[in-house]
Amino acid sequence: MGGGKTIPEVFHSLLDPFALMSVAAAVTERPLIGANILNAPWYAPAVLARSLTTIDRLSGGRLLPGFGVGWSPEEYSAAGVPMNERGAGLDECLDVLDRLWSDNPAEYQGRHWTLPATYADVKPVQRPRPPLYLAGFAPAAMRRAARRADGWLPVYAPETGPFDPATVNEPMRQIRQLAADADRDPAALSMVMRVYPMTPSNTVDDVVSPILRAAEETDVDHFFVQMMNVAETVDHSLEFAEGVLSKARG
């Protein structure tokens, strides 16, 4: 979105995440279907709930949505949503999703979102709802993950140097402590780590090395490799993915 110089060029060519997750759900049987990340404040919660419920049912209960609040003023302007209260908007979005996935009729009155009494007879396969993962390293984002999420979404880019497990372990330790302070079970929170190679020069080994180390030295449960910077064609994407899977599995 956006045409300003603040938008990285790689974001000039993107497809709709809900359509892509639906296709992935329809043509696979085992992989988890996730988004890392959806900027939830851009979407009316009732529409977001319907889209995610559809994907969870199409996939037979394999949806694992990841939410964040984004960083780009241009994208918020294009979405027609104020950026300065995006954290509060995400909190209320999570409230509405909980209502829609548990109550029938569901109803909510907030500052940012209002849901009149709404019947949603079709619920997700996963009960009481799909597990929700939240992104972000800022203190407010970590507090929200501790209070509201089923897991946290750390990220690593090979360009930043060798992977240091402490960059995952220490924030997660803080999140789990905050969860305990909020009377939640800290052990119930899990992690999906996004490995984000940022240039075409990144190799399969650049991606696999941090995955293997994180698997041994952190509590990361799943990995997501973002390949839009390294793969120029579908064939290249499939070849790269096959290489990562083969080496990661040993």
How far apart are alpha carbons 56 and 52 in whole angstroms?
A: 6
- 1: pLDDT strictly greater than 70: no
Kindly report which listed range (137-146, 160-169, 234-243) carries the lowest average pLDDT score. Answer: 234-243
Query: If you average pLDDT over every residue of the chain, what do you get?
Result: 92
Closest CA to 136 of 36, 207, 43: 36
Q: Other C-beta atoms within 10 Å of 5: how many? A: 8
Q: Other C-beta atoms within 10 Å of 162: how many? A: 8
Task: Give the model confidence (pLDDT) of 26-38 as tens digits.
Answer: 999 999 999 888 9
Residue 29 pLDDT = 95
Residue 5 pLDDT = 56
Q: Other C-beta atoms within 10 Å of 158: how many? A: 21
Task: Give the model confidence (pLDDT) of 131-141 as tens digits.
Answer: 999 999 999 99
| Percent of the chain whose pLDDT exceeds 90 | 79
| Contact residues for 228 (Cβ-Cβ < 8 A; gap 6+) | 10, 14
- 4: pLDDT strictly greater than 70: no
Residue 35 pLDDT = 85
Residue 73 dihedral angles phi and psi, to the nearest 5°: -60, -35
Average pLDDT over residues 179-199: 95
Average pLDDT over residues 39-60: 96
- Domains of the chain, earliest start first: 1-131 (3.20.20.30), 135-250 (3.40.50)
